[in-house]
Structure 1
């Protein structure tokens, strides 16, 4: 079992490009099933947090590949590496 407080301090990293996406700031729970539907990562602040933020990143639970001791590996569907795009 993992406590939410322990879950929130882990770095979330995309396996698509190795980029650190941030830390979990919230979770979506299905009240009918009691299961976690998604994790939410706050968008990063622009210019030291001034002038607004980027949009939050919502990662569905089924896109989490591995939860380790220090990191959570996810498949972020919004990131498509250019090497995977087929040329026509």
Structure 2
């Protein structure tokens, strides 16, 4: 599967059914060339003029299933503050 194919799927939180967004980037561990995390860019407010939500960084081990249309994760999300990245456990 390519990054382009991954980025076309919605990322869904399993417990709540919340749509978290789509994958915009990945983080690799250079030492062993393994996929470490995926990054979902923060949502823009009023076309970006009012800022953006934080990026969401989801560890690869939190991805539970990659389906035809969606990616399921059990990551816990919490309220965000604009401007930086938040890492999930």
Q: Same fold (TM over 0.5)?
A: yes
**SS of residue matched to 1:5:** helix
Provide TM-score, normalisation by structure 2.
Answer: 0.81
| Higher CA-based Rg | 1
- How big is the shift at 1:30? 0.3
**SS of residue matched to 2:23:** strand
Quick check: 1:31 aligned with 2:30? yes
For the aligned residue pairs, the C-alpha RMSD in angstroms reads 1.1
Distance 1:73 1:32 in 2: 27
**Structure 1 runs of 4+ with >3 Å offset:** none
Number of aligned residues:
78
Q: Any idea what the Cα deviations from partners look like across 1:41-61, whole Å, max 9, x if unmatched?
A: 011112343211000001000
Q: Which runs of 5+ in 1 are unaligned?
A: 80-88
Distance 1:76 1:44 in 2: 18
Matching residue of 2:85:
none
Matching residue of 2:60:
61
Q: Is the 8 A contact 1:16 1:76 kept in 2?
A: no
